[in-house]
Chains A and B, each alone.
Chain A
């Protein structure tokens, strides 16, 4: 075995381990978000607070579009399209910040407060924990973008971009379940 094939085999082995590790981390995170969902169904039952439906739909759309741009960024670097990679990654970060503004700036500024019993506790617990993950995702994206700007990734080697993309999509998947649980399921309590 030559030094080159040995290095390549090592890299592939490392890549497999990295992916497995990341997915195991997601499994552990699923318990956290699953617990919050269980709390929502236990405490709210078949009811929900009167939240702004348009805002919920808008921030959900923003997060889904951000996932599209993140997938585009990953495809771009995998196909050696550096310009699209950097543009898409930056767009994803902007959309992530827009989502945060929607949740923290508008939803949290609504009529429900954290002290409003089970409704306030669950709403702020779920959106707060999710927003924290979005915030860490935006920081992760900006770090990857900065490294990408300096030529730190190539079509052959871009595990950092792949990990960042998978993390961002995971945050999106969590919101796919949180959105209907918070905004759509159950009858409105006034």
Chain B
């Protein structure tokens, strides 16, 4: 049975997650909208060698991936908190923990590098 305090905390946490989601979604939408409506002028764009452009592109992709993993971890932690406060289900909390650990081991710790020929 969930009491009023727990329900309030769950609702507050859910609202916070939704608010952050809405904020990120709106920012992404407006960023796409602004880029479409007001595309940057190609004449002003600095000319860069092809190798530099490729490096910058790879760098941006790496940073973006890190941010996506952080977002996923934040959402899973919020869910974990709600599950812990409302139901305290050990099995569900373990599964959520395994998901979070899996994300960190795969994307932050690069576990596959141990058996692959991949360099840094």
Q: Give chain A's interface residues, CB within 8 Å of chain B.
A: 12, 15-16, 19-20, 23, 46, 53, 57, 60-61, 64-65, 67-68, 70-72, 75-76, 78-81, 155-159, 162, 165-166, 169-170, 172-173, 176-177, 179-180, 183-187
Q: Across the interface, which residues of A come within 8 angstroms of B77, CB to CB?
A: 57, 60-61, 64
Q: Across the interface, which residues of A come within 8 angstroms of B85, CB to CB?
A: 53, 184
Q: Which residue of A lies closest to B91 (CB)?
A: A185
Q: Give chain B's interface residues, CB within 8 Å of chain A.
A: 9, 55, 58-59, 62-63, 66-67, 69-70, 73-74, 77, 80-81, 83-85, 88, 90, 93-94, 96-97, 100-101, 104-105, 107-111, 113-114, 117, 119-120
Q: Across the interface, which residues of B come within 8 angstroms of A158, CB to CB?
A: 120
Q: Across the interface, which residues of B come within 8 angstroms of A173, CB to CB?
A: 101, 104-105, 109
Q: Is the CB of A156 within 8 A of B101?
A: no
Q: Which of A46, A57, A172 contacts B81 (CB 8 A)?
A: A57
Closest 6 CB pairs of A and B: A184-B84, A79-B59, A75-B62, A68-B70, A180-B93, A169-B108
Q: Is the CB of A185 within 8 A of B90?
A: yes
Q: Is the CB of A156 within 8 A of B108?
A: no
Distance (whole angstroms) from the CB of B10 to the closest CB of chain A: 12
Q: Is the CB of A180 within 8 A of B84?
A: yes
Q: Across the interface, which residues of B come within 8 angstroms of A185, CB to CB?
A: 84, 88, 90, 93
Q: A53-B9, A156-B120, A169-B105 are in contact. List 20 more A-B contacts (CB 8 A).
A: A12-B117, A61-B77, A64-B74, A67-B73, A68-B67, A68-B70, A71-B66, A75-B59, A75-B66, A79-B58, A79-B62, A165-B108, A173-B104, A173-B109, A176-B100, A176-B104, A177-B101, A180-B93, A184-B93, A185-B84
Q: Across the interface, which residues of A come within 8 angstroms of B9, CB to CB?
A: 53
Given contacts A68-B67, A79-B62, A81-B59, contact A169 B80 (CB under 8 A): no
Distance (whole angstroms) from the CB of B27 to the closest CB of chain A: 18
11 contacting pairs across A/B (C-beta < 8 A): A15-B119, A53-B85, A61-B77, A64-B74, A71-B107, A75-B66, A76-B59, A165-B108, A173-B109, A176-B97, A186-B88
Given contacts A158-B120, A184-B88, contact A176 B108 (CB under 8 A): no
Q: Across the interface, which residues of A come within 8 angstroms of B59, CB to CB?
A: 75-76, 79, 81
Distance (whole angstroms) from the CB of A31 to the closest CB of chain B: 16
Distance (whole angstroms) from the CB of A57 to the closest CB of chain B: 6
A172 and B103 alpha carbons, distance in the complex (Å): 11
Distance (whole angstroms) from the CB of A73 to the closest CB of chain B: 10
Q: Across the interface, which residues of A come within 8 angstroms of B114, CB to CB?
A: 16, 19-20, 23
